[in-house]
Each structure stands twice: as structure tokens, then as C-alpha cells.
Structure 1
Amino acid sequence: MDSTYSLHHRVPTADELAHLRELNEMGARSMAGLRRGLPNSLFGVVVTTSEEGAEVVVGTGRVVGDGASVFHVCDMVVHPDHQSEGLGTRIMDALMAYIEEAASLDAYVNLLADVEGFYERWGFERTAPVSRGMFLRTE
């Protein structure tokens, strides 16, 4: 990672994550939900850089689950102006290092990917046709 970036082991704040999701045109999440849910994360990372003398979050990723047998990688997002700098790779490396340390034998690790060909390098595979990913969004 370029020396202008720093990776920190912490969960993003609701404001940081909401801002990055909006910049990347990802689905909105309620601020109340983010504020309530983010502290329940198992692990998270943020990538920062200095802009005009202030430390700014330009990337995030986190892991949720039960801490032993089920892990879900989520909120992988990098600011559009800072993409193609290897930040997503550094974030995933940190998340996977945590999972490898915490996971029990035969743990299940999943994610929902919207980037083709990125997550395979960590061993992720499509679930179909063996199983089918599904989702439900509450209203």
C-alpha cells in the first residue's frame, strides 16, 4: 500500500460508511441501523489518507458473524478517487487474516460480491449450482 495510506483495525463509523456507500452508488442503509449494527461487528478495518491536513477514511471492510463457525465479509468499499491503488486487496488481506485466526475447523465464510474476479484470489467460489444465494431487504 502506498505510504500515503494507513490501514487501521477498527470498524468504520456510521457516517464514514454511509458516505463511502453513497459515493459508490451502493444501496442506502439507514443511519439508525448503521449506528446500531456497526458496534456488533466482529472485526473491521478502515484505510485513511491525509487530505488538507485531516485524516480521511477512503476504504472500509468488516466481518460479522458468530466468531467461530460463520463469518460474513461485508461493507467492502473504496472511495472512487482512490480505487486501483491496491486498497481493496489490503482490506481483504486484513479481513482474511482475522478470519483465519478466529475461524474453527470447517467454518463457513461468505460474501455478496459485485466485483467480478476480485474475491477468487482468497479462495471464494460461486455457490451455484450447489446452493443458491438469496436475500431479503426489510422495509
Structure 2
Amino acid sequence: MGDHGIELIERFPDVDDYCRLRVAAGMTPKTREAATRGLPNTLYGVSLVRDGQVVGMGRIIGDNGTVFTVADIAVVPALQGRGLGRRILVALDAWLRANVPESAYVTLIADGDAKFLYAKFGFVDSAPASINMEYMMLAGGRRSTDAG
């Protein structure tokens, strides 16, 4: 068992825990369909478990050669601020160092003050050379950036 009675397991949560944890952590909800299609494509993932319940997660996605993305790092609010996000990143970083080939990009999107934690693991702001661009797919094939 780890800190605070929380065990880190090298396995990403199932669809139900993934969807629940994203909402609990204040992240954008994902549909069951999206999670069911996407989660099997996880290259490596971890779960933080306390008393049989998933209370934190993080994963690596990508093409397993040229691009790797750290994604879905979340900890339930009641346990935030206790170093659990760092614990997740330590595990993800160890996997990246052991498995990512030379010249590959490792990326992530930093929300808020999480950028300070990510910087401790070597991530740097790529602006102005590069910027993150995105949209979210909405019902009927609309994008969140579509007018009207």
C-alpha cells in the first residue's frame, strides 16, 4: 500500500471509473461511447486505488513511435494537494523513459497550475513556436468552435 493507504496499480481504470473520475475531478465529461472506443488504445496507464475504489488516474496515448501524449491525469478533489498527481507522473515518466524512442515527441496539455508540476518532469511551454489548437466534437458532427 502506498501513501495515505492508496495503492498505485499499473492498469488504467475501466470505462465507468474513467467517466466518473473525470467528472469528479472537474474535467470535461466524456461519453461512454467515446471512452469505450478510446481507452483500449492506452499505451500505458495507472490507477490510484483506495479501499477498492479508483481515486486517481493517468495514461499515455499515441502512436507508440513518433508521438506520445500524457493524458487524463485526475485525482478526486478530496485527495488533491497530497502529492498524488506527482505520484502518477513519476510512474508515467518511468514508462516513457523506458519505452519512448529517440526523436519522439512527448506532449501534454497543462491546465492551470498543473504546468508547474509538469515542468518538474521536463515539459516546457512550446509557444510561440507551437501552440495547442483544439475543438470538441458535439452531437450531429458539430464542433465546439462552430458558430450558431
Q: TM-score per shorter chain, which class?
A: over 0.9
Q: Which residue of 2 aligns with 1:95?
A: 92
SS of the aligned residue for 2:3 comes to: coil
**Bigger fraction of residues in strand:** 1
Q: Distance in 1 between matches of 2:90 and 2:106?
A: 14
Q: Distance in 1 between matches of 2:100 and 2:19?
A: 28
* Shift, 1:118, TM fit: 1.5
Report matched runs for 1:1-139 at 5 Å: 1-2=2-3, 4-50=5-51, 55-116=52-113, 117-139=116-138
TM-score, normalisation: structure 1? 0.92
| Alpha-carbon displacement from aligned partner over 1:36-71 (angstroms, at most 9, x marks no partner) | 110111000000111xxxx01100000001112210
* Shift, 1:34, TM fit: 0.2
TM-score, normalisation: structure 2? 0.87
Higher RCO (CA 8 Å, separation ≥ 6 residues): 1
| Alpha-carbon displacement from aligned partner over 1:70-115 (angstroms, at most 9, x marks no partner) | 1000000000011122111110011111111111112100011113
Q: Distance in 1 between matches of 2:4 and 2:32?
A: 32
* Shift, 1:28, TM fit: 1.1
Q: Distance in 2 between matches of 1:89 and 1:10?
A: 17
- Which runs of 5 or more structure 2 residues have no equivalent in the other structure? 139-148
Q: Distance in 1 between matches of 2:103 and 2:133?
A: 22
- Which runs of 5 or more structure 1 residues have no equivalent in the other structure? none
Q: Distance in 1 between matches of 2:89 and 2:74?
A: 11
SS of the aligned residue for 1:122 comes to: coil
Larger radius of gyration: 2
The one-letter amino acid paired with 1:64 is: I
Q: Distance in 1 between matches of 2:73 and 2:50?
A: 17
* Shift, 1:3, TM fit: 5.1
- RMSD (Å) for aligned C-alpha atoms: 1.1
SS of the aligned residue for 2:112 comes to: coil
